[in-house]
Amino acid sequence: MSDQDFLPAPAENTVLNREDAPRIHFDGSKNSAMETGRNRLLVTGMVVLLAFTVVGGRLITLATSSPDTDKKIARATAKPNAVGRGKIVDRRGVILAASLPIASLYANPQGILDADEAADKLAEILPDLSREELLVKLRGKGQFVWLRRNLTPQQVYDINALGVPGVAFADSERRVFPHGRVASHLLGMTDVDGKGIAGVERYFDDTLSNDGGRVQLSIDLRIQAILHQELTSVVARFNALGAAGVILDAQTGEVTAMVSLPDFNPNDVGTLHGEAGFNRVTKGVYEMGSTFKLLTAAMALDSGKVLLQDRYDARKPIRIARFRISDFYGKNRWLSVPEILIYSSNIGAAKMAMDLGGKAQKAYLTKLGLLRQSTVELPEVGTPLSPARWRDINTMTISYGHGIAVTPLQMAAAIATVVNGGYYRPPTILKKDKPKPGAEIIRQIFSEKTSGQMRNLMRLVVSRGTGKKANVPGYRIGGKTGTAEKQGNGGYRKKALISSFVAAFPIDAPRYVLLVLVDEPKGNKSTYYSATGGWVAAPTIANLVRRIAPMIGIRPVLEGDKPKTGKSKISKRRRAPVKAAFVPSSRKFVERARERSGAH
């Protein structure tokens, strides 16, 4: 039986119209399939519309975002180049500063789904960041914010495990100074973005940043560490405000070591503040006191206006205008040129300078680079202080280191000129290649004869004069003490001293010039409560030579000390009414030169 059997039979001679045809109904499964198709088309259309909306919104955001935001996002997401910031090394190739790859955490607040939950989770892993601080950053209106720089590998792993949307890592670098404070003022430091902000890092920022250029310094890390230790010790021993020290190659002008105290930790940018960030060696300018008498003697002898055997009346103080120039430990008699240095006579130095003349004095100091800024390769460079008008009183006070202020580095370079044959070489912190014959341009300020005379005089100061505490058996050291009162309250403060000592060794053929300066040392029982350069700075020089000389291969000489003073004829001018003329090797001279150690 078929379906037709259930349909009524049409009437005879009747035509069936379309309207009269029976209606056919689809079953339920076919109807459901059509509905599903329509829904899928609707969803697909909505997804496409949403995609276009997101893309359009992103384009609008990019078109209206600030350049600063773009740069931050680019810096955060870009990987560092294969080279990175260049290394800084010492003269032997030892690494002083280098960059290490490291990860930093940032967030896009617009992608944070639940700021409270994200802050809670991140605060557990980064306890140095408070929850409140994180919430402020995560709820910000911007699209980029740093959360934490320089993460440890463990922190990166833990944060990754959280799966917090909206936070990501940026590959970056961290500047590392493996030797800490030892050379902090010289090296300087970088900020969190790796840009140099002080010292060599700042001066050579372009070189170090571009293609990883390497900078090789002239310092020897071994000697640098010794100088840092000795200055730290002298500051602690005499409860001083600070200290400065420099060791200079007398033949090339290269800085072998440079230390300023107090110092900072270049691995912690927060320590670069106040006095700790002040480089006393290149930025600080000081009245150097009696160390300047070496320059006065060299200028006077080199000019030919003063001879080695000339003598000056030092029996009475000099009174000029409202000023009074006197000696710290006056001998109250006529003094020869060597005795003026041995006994550190202000009166004798002032009279010697007047014979030289203020015009010539200023010309020599200009040639020595003491009246202008140093050209050393550091951003922290001080400007010397000198008189606007060069009057007689200025000529006199400058002769013994008052009325003019220079940096310790400038003073060391000037003394190097005195002892190395008279040739001035600008100080540099960069290692020099051996110059080809005739390639190096230098200036000769003093004659070879004057330089030889000054080396002998400096040796006398250490072996028989005020610098005896700088003497080291087996090493011929020459030098000069210096003690200057600091200015303040419209005058000089007698108990606030700058105590210093400048030396050269081996004095017969100087290889290094050493300068130590201590700011406001306090005398103690071991120094009979004296805080002069002879008591404070001279022993530090001795310790430096004692430690450095064997390291660099300078062998001690055990032969007797037989200083020479040159062969200049005795001048008939200013002959003193004394019974015996000055003869350096005479017994009477030796007896007169005896003086208790530590004098001014």
**176 token code pair:** 């590392």
Helix, strand, coil percentages in the chain from 3-state DSSP, rounded to 5: 40, 20, 40
Interatomic CA distance for residues 254 and 51, integer angstroms: 66
Query: 207 with 86: CB under 8 angstroms?
Result: yes
**Which residues make beta-bridge pairs with 103?**
151, 171
Q: Report the SS3 class of residue 62.
A: helix
Q: Measured between alpha carbons, how far is 421 from 450 in angstroms, rounded to an integer?
A: 8
The two three-digit tokens of residue 292, written as one number: 């300047």
Q: Which residues fall within 8 angstroms of residue 519, CB to CB, at 6 or more apart? A: 240, 241, 242, 243, 244, 280, 498
Return the structure tokens found at 83: 């080279």
Measured distance CA(381)–CA(377) in Å, rounded: 9
Assess contact for 413 and 309: CB atoms under 8 A.
no
Amino acid identity at 101: P
Q: Which of these is catalytic: 184, 260, 290, 451? A: 290
Residue with tokens 């060069």: 390
d(CA 551, CA 543): 13
Angle, helices 346-356 vs 392-399, to 10°: value is 130
540 vs 333: CA distance, rounded Å: 32
CB burial string 64-89: b at 16+ within 10 A, e below: eeeeeeeebbebbeeebeeebbbbbb
Helix, strand or coil for residue 117?
Answer: helix
Q: How many CB atoms lie within 10 A of CB 135?
A: 16
Query: Which amino acid, residue 2?
Result: S
Nearest-angstrom CA–CA distance, 331 and 19: 146
CB 294 within 8 A of CB 399: no
CA gap 366, 422 in Å, rounded: 15
What does the alpha-carbon distance between residue 176 and residue 178 come to, in Å, rounded to a whole number? Answer: 6
DSSP 8-state symbol, 5: G
Verify cis geometry, omega within 30 degrees of 0, for the bond prior to 262.
yes
Is 290 catalytic? The answer is yes
Pairing mode of beta strands 311-313, 334-336: antiparallel
- Which residues are marked as active site? 290
